[in-house]
Amino acid sequence: MEGQPVQPAPEETPRDANPANVGLELFGYVGIEAVLDQMRIKTMKTGFEFNLMVVGQSGLGKSTMVNTLFKSKVSRKPTGPSYEERIPKTVQLQSVTHVIEEKGVKMKLTVTDTPGFGDQINNENCWDPIIKYINEQYEKYLREEILISRKRKIPDTRVHSCVYFVPPTGHWLRPLDLEFMRRLSKIVNVVPVIAKADTLTLEERAEFKKRIQKDLKAHGISVYPQEDFDDNSDDRILNNKIRDKIPFAVVGADKEHQVNGKRVLGRKTKWGIIEVENPAHCEFPLLRDLLIRSHLQDLKDITHNVHYESYRVQRLNESNRLALSPINGLLGKDEVESDL
Amino acid sequence: MAATEIARQVGEGCRTVPLSGHVGFDSLPDQLVNKSVNHGFCFNILCVGETGLGKSTLMDTLFNTKFEGEPASHSQPGVQLKSSTYDLQESNVGLKLTVVGTVGFGDQINKEDSYKPIVEFIDAQFEAYLQEELKIKRVLHNFHDSRIHACLYFIAPTGHSLKSLDLVTMKKLDSKVNIIPIIAKSDAISKSELTKFKIKITSELVSNGVQIYQFPTDDESVAEINGTMNAHLPFAVIGSTEELKIGNKMMKARQYPWGTVQVENEAHCDFVKLREMLIRVNMEDLREQTHTRHYELYRRCKLEEMGFKDTDPDSKPFSLQETYEAKRNEFLGELQKKEEEMRQMFVQRVKEKEAELKEAEKALHEKFDCLKKMHQDEKKKLEDKKKSLDDEVNAFKQRKTAAELLQSQAQQAGGSQTLKREKERKNNPWLCTE
């Protein structure tokens, strides 16, 4: 580690530069960057948590998709002929937690499934149980955070990302889709995907995507990655590329087949094998990269810094008005600020 | 409206599921690290020690740079803390370093209160963070964390034992900050004296119950090195920013007529050990300890002091900030009420006194009137008497003139008889009037 080239401190610092601070030149190697390794070791020891929610009508391949994403039987699908009878009459939420490990990195993965969503004849307010669940997780975290003697590491059950499955009609987003996404994009990171995309040709896919993007913009729905939270110009360029491709057209499969001598995950049909991990066939790799390989930490950060904070502000203001009502005229300056 | 229910079923415990292929979340630590690099790190060091022990020089040597500042004088009236923030950059890692030094520590004649400004400063940093955390609209991830992560306590190289000032200060600080004691200017101590000194210091610290920072030994990768370093505490350091040519390399050293002390030579002093421990191995742990142990302790004490308790889980959460404000306002209201009461009492007393005085005045007036009246009466009496005497005098004069007139008439009538008769007559009126 010795003898690294020294770079003089640039005039501008990468983050909020305080003009009162002095940028100093280092005359030799100090070893500050060893803090990165320290951080890496520490986080590998404590492990990560990730909570994913999948929402969509039954039969769109949600459970298969989750299994394909995490390459394991994370979501248990009910199999057997009695399945058709088991469509629940109401929206239920089922959470399953697993611990998966890869190359020394432990991750506690919680997948929340929502069978029954959008399956009834009258689907009014079918998003209510989901919103309630998400807010309950925020509430749990808030309660832990407010305690006097807090735990060292507060267990994080907040939903970090909600993957919404859009049925591949090829036309436009349905009113149910719009309503749901509009409400949920305010409290959680929503990632819309076109499910079972093997029923659309590539041109139909492109058309559908354009229409969906227009629809989302027209209704003011900001899905992940949200434009307001781009940190710097590099992020913006990267996220713009992603935003062009949203929603991803995905195909899920958990069976392996033989293609050109290799075993690949795919769906076998009479007219060919759709390779899930082939970017020419479907955009599953893009979804996986976004969710896991590149933006997982970002999803968690936005959930913590943005969505959780706005829930907290709202909640504390609410309970303040209740708690402080006997004391008159005590509008603190914080309350006034939050009303702005 | 469609009736909705939530039925939630959590998977039995958390079983470990095997992966059948490469998923890719092993990049998670890298994602986290990249984000932190973009965000930047901050590290705050507090240097406590008497004036002239080489605190600023050691900071310069540790971070290989020249911080501003001139040496402080010895005639400070009290202990003050001077803090300066610097932005250091090494390859792609940016560090916001805050160095706080004590000015005038140990210079006063009466050192009883020397530790107070230091404790107050540390508490103020915790308070600032707590306030930000309690706010309703907060920006915690962009907040400039000014809590002290490490406190380097400079021990004077006497060679005997710790001074009582050192013991008292360290005892006050050990529950608030990570203390790393170091022996400053250790080129004044010989090697044999140094081992004895170190043993004496550690035994004194232990016997007085001072908890200094122990390098963590729970992680295998650093357990060994941290364990050996723990045995070398307190580090005997020498600071120098001058470079001298030794052999064929330029090294930081101090030159004496009898030899040269090399700063980075492990045989000469423990500077390299300090740098390793402070920066290269344990910086993250220091920050974590500050946040999870010292800050949580401060927060707990502060909130309990204000009367908050952890209520049972069914009750609603409340904003600590608002209730804190409410309690403070309540307290201020009470103060105001008390003030009002006191004011009222004061006014009442004044009124009473005034009434008393008025009465006294009235009495005086009455007396005065009385006396005046008496005086007038007497005056009148005297005048009356005077008048009556005047009347008498007048009457006498009249008789006198009348008598003289008669006398002159009698003389004109002539004769001694008349004289006699006059004499008799003179006598007679007298006789008659007698």
pLDDT of residue B406: 92
**Nearest residue in chain B measured CA to CA from A328:** B326
Beta carbons within 8 Å of A80's beta carbon, 6+ residues apart: none
Q: Which residue out of B17, B251, B263 would a mutagenesis test of the A interface target, given it has the greatest number of A Cβ atoms within 10 Å?
A: B17
CB atoms under 10 Å from CB of B262, counted, come to 19
Q: Regarding predicted confidence, which is higher, B7 or B262? A: B262
Instruction: Band the pLDDT of B419: cuts 50, 70, 90.
Output: low
CA B300 distance to own-chain centroid: 22
**Residues of chain A whose pLDDT is less than 50?**
1-20, 80-83, 85, 324-340
| Exposure of B106 in the CB half-sphere (CA atoms within 13 A) | 19
User: Picking from B281-285, B324-328, B346-350, which range would have the lowest pLDDT averaged per residue?
Assistant: B324-328
Q: With beta carbons under 8 A apart, name residues in chain B contacting A28.
A: 64
Q: What is the distance, to the nearest Å, from the Cα of residue B91 to the centroid of all Cα atoms in its chain?
A: 42
| Cβ distance of A9 and B142 shorter than 8 Å | no
Question: E strands of chain A, at which residues?
Answer: 22-23, 48-55, 94-102, 105-113, 161-166, 190-194, 248-249, 256-259, 262-269, 272-275
Two tokens, residue B159: 């060679």
Strand spans (E) along B38-134: 41-48, 80-90, 93-103
Does the ipTM surpass 0.85?
Answer: no
C-alpha B169/C-alpha B154 separation (Å) is 11
Tokens of A39: 């951080």
Residue in chain A closest to B63 (alpha carbons) equals A30
Which among B5, B19, B25, B293 is the top mutation candidate for probing chain A, defined by the most A β-carbons within 10 Å of its own β-carbon? B25
Contact in structure between B165 and B197 (CB atoms under 8 Å): no
Residue recorded with tokens 């030159």: B255
Please give the Cα distance from B269 to B188 (Å, whole number).
Answer: 11
pLDDT at B342 over 70: yes
Nearest to B64 among A28, A142, A337 (CB): A28
The residue that leads in pLDDT, B23 or A75, is B23
pLDDT tens, position by position, B346-368: 999 999 999 999 999 999 999 99
Residue of B nearest to A40 (CA): B29
Best residue in A38, A99, A123, A304 for a mutation probing chain B (most B CBs within 10 Å)? A38
Task: Give the residue on A whose Cα is nearest the Cα of B16.
Answer: A99
User: What would the mean pLDDT of B56-70 be, rounded to a whole number?
Assistant: 79
Predicted pLDDT of residue B323? 65
A272-275 and A262-269 strand pairing: antiparallel
- Give the global pTM: 0.72
Which residues from chain B sit within 8 angstroms of residue A21, using beta carbons?
A: 85-87, 96
- Contact of B303 with chain A, judged by CB distance below 8 Å, is answered with yes
Percent of chain B past pLDDT 90, that is, above it, reads 23
Neighbours of A178 (CB within 10 A): 16
Q: How far apart are CA A6 and CA A100, in angstroms?
A: 40
Q: Which of B143, B106, B109, B150 is nearest to B128 (CA)?
A: B143
Q: Which residue has the tokens 């292929």?
A: B21
Tokens of B256: 């004496």
Q: What is the pLDDT of residue B393?
A: 95
Q: How far is A207 from chain B (nearest CA, A)?
A: 31
What are the pLDDT digits (tens) for B104-150?
A: 888 888 888 888 889 999 999 999 998 888 887 888 777 888 899 99
DSSP state of B10: B
Identity of the residue in A14, A90, A126 whose CB atom sits nearest the CB atom of B94: A14
Helix (H, G, I), strand (E, B) or coil at B357: helix
- Chain B residues in contact with A40 by the CB 8 A cut-off are 29-30, 32-33
Nearest CA in chain B to A142: B317
* Amino acid at site A92: Q
Residue A76 parent element (H or E) = none
Question: Rounded to a whole number, what is the distance in Å from the CA of B142 to chain A's nearest CA?
Answer: 9
The answer to whether the CB atoms of B16 and A98 lie below 8 A apart is yes
Mutate which of A1, A6, A7, A24 to disrupt the B interface (most B C-beta within 10 Å)? Answer: A24
Higher pLDDT, A78 or B40: B40
pLDDT of residue A17: 38
Terminal Cα-to-Cα distance of chain B (whole angstroms): 145
pLDDT, average across residues B149-164: 88
Mean pLDDT (whole number) for B366-371: 94
How many Cα atoms are found within 13 Å in the side-chain-facing hemisphere of B100? 22
| A313, closest residue in chain B (CA to CA) | B136
Q: What is the pLDDT of residues B223-252, one digit of tens each?
A: 888 888 888 888 888 888 888 877 778 888
The closest of A250, A258, A309, A236 to A282, measured between CA atoms, is A250
How confident is residue B405, by pLDDT bands cut at 50, 70 and 90? very high
Q: What is the pLDDT of residue B223?
A: 81
Facing residue for A147 by CB, picked from B62, B67, B310: B310
> Which residues of chain A have a CB within 8 Å of the CB of B324?
none
Question: Min CA distance, A62 vs chain B (Å)?
Answer: 18
With CA atoms as reference, the chain A residue closest to B37 would be A36
- B259 φ, ψ to 5°? 160, 180
- Reported as a single tens digit per residue, the pLDDT across B303-313 is 888 776 665 43
- Which two three-digit tokens encode residue B289? 């300890």
pLDDT at B357: 95
How far apart, in whole angstroms, are the C-alpha atoms of residue A157 and residue A109?
A: 10
Question: What φ, ψ does residue B56 adopt, rounded to 5°?
Answer: -65, -40
Which of A158-162, A326-330, B334-338, B403-407 has the least mean pLDDT?
Answer: A326-330
User: Does residue A229 or residue B256 have the better pLDDT?
Assistant: B256
Which residues of chain A make contact with B11, given a CB cutoff of 8 A? Answer: 95-98
Average pLDDT over residues B33-60: 86
Instruction: Band the pLDDT of B392: cuts 50, 70, 90.
Output: very high
Are the C-beta atoms of residues A269 and A258 closer than 8 Å to each other? no
Helices and strands per DSSP (H, E), number in chain A: 10, 10
Q: Angle at which helices A128-146 and A308-323 pack, to 10 degrees?
A: 70
Please report the pLDDT score of residue B12 as a whole number: 40
What's the pLDDT score for residue B7? 36
Is the per-residue pLDDT at B29 higher than 80? yes
Q: For residue B136, give the nearest of A17, A45, A317 by CB distance.
A: A317
- Among A54, A86, A107, which residue's Cα sits nearest to residue A252? A54
| Average pLDDT, rounded, for chain B | 82
Rounded CA-CA distance B120/B174 in Å is 14
Partner-chain contact B64 A129, CB within 8 Å: no
